[in-house]
Amino acid sequence: MTYIANSERYDKMKYCFCGKSGLKLPVMSVGLWHNFGYESNYENAKNIILTSFDTGITHFDLANNYGPPAGSAEEMFGKILCSELKSHRDELIISTKAGYGMWDGPYGDGGSKKYLVSSLDQSLKRMGLDYVDIFYHHRPDPDTPLWETMDALAGIVKQGKALYIGLSNYNSKQLKEASEILKSMGVRCLIHQHNYSMLNQKNKELIPVLEEEGIGSIAFCPLAQGLLTDKYLHGIPADSRAAGHSVFLGKESITPELLEKVEQLNEIAKKRGQKLSQMALVWALQTGKLTSVILGASKASQITDNVEALENPYLSEEELKAVETILGE
């Protein structure tokens, strides 16, 4: 059956300029970190992508090592793009990254020009694309001179393999220096991606640099890998990521003290007529001065549920103070 996009997909989604650029991003984007690898169900993955596009989400965020195994998320996305969204390519913002270990040997990790150029070539082949809209360096590499990494990124833009450059997981000092080097090479950093949520606010330190340099920002894990949903309010479900001994979210991190905070936050959300997840997304956009938040999903209904948060978009000063009190910020 041929996919026909929702004709009203742009009516409710909000779009913001990304830093001091002419590019607008939807305030909610979709990440393919989990649930899009070889072990995932293709029809379910396709449903997540198409449902997202039907709600006005135009930005899909990938990386060379997303899967598992590494590379498989890009392959699955490329298959969905070719079979269902090929005619909508110019409506999409597709990003990928390189920076973590990807293949054996000395050239499959880090920030060297050899690794970054090779990795992007592989990513483009897996997705069946001539270019990506945004190419990120996934993390700072202390073993590679920063100028070399930025030179590689600037060259990628000038070759037409990416329209814009992004940086991810840089601290404020690194981001400032990298941005200045890129500008000297005639290319600007469009966006920075970092972890930000009610339960992880350390990256607020980036805001002054982002504003000074005119860089947009996008947050991954705005729901703290499900902790800021109703999933863990009554313990650890057997099918949850924490129960599966995830490297990124273990049982030991879900303490009684944390669950008590989550329960209190949930009460504020109820009074707002929202789910906790919806309030957490609105809070992140509002307090983090973010261009967009990256949604993760294991089923399409989670996307539509999260997008509904935009119907009640702002927390009052009283609500913000109540959240701060609970979090101890």
- The domain total for the chain is 1
Ranges of the chain whose pLDDT falls below 70:
234-251, 329
Instruction: Assess if residue 89 is contained within a domain.
Output: yes
Please tell me whether the overall predicted TM-score, pTM, comes out greater than 0.85 for this model: yes
CATH of the domain at 304: 3.20.20.100
Instruction: Assess if residue 248 is contained within a domain.
Output: no
Q: What are the C-alpha distances in Å from 189 to residues 28, 110, 148, 157, 238?
A: 20, 19, 15, 11, 42
Instruction: Assess if residue 299 is contained within a domain.
Output: yes
Q: Is 69 left (phi over 0), alpha (psi -120 to 50) or beta?
A: beta
Question: In terms of residue numbers, what domain contains 294?
Answer: 15-233+275-314
Residue type, 90: D
CA distance 193 to 288: 12
Instruction: Assess if residue 44 is contained within a domain.
Output: yes
pLDDT in tens, 189-227: 999 999 999 999 999 999 999 999 999 999 999 999 999
Instruction: Assess if residue 161 is contained within a domain.
Output: yes
Contact 151, 186 (CB under 8 A): no
The predicted pLDDT at position 1 comes to: 81
pLDDT in tens, 224-256: 999 999 888 866 665 555 555 554 455 677 889
- Among 116, 132, 135, 129, which Cα is nearest to 193's? 135
Instruction: Assess if residue 30 is contained within a domain.
Output: yes
CA distance 233 to 261: 10
The predicted pLDDT at position 313 comes to: 81
Instruction: Assess if residue 262 is contained within a domain.
Output: no
Strand partners, 61: 31, 95
Instruction: Assess if residue 210 is contained within a domain.
Output: yes
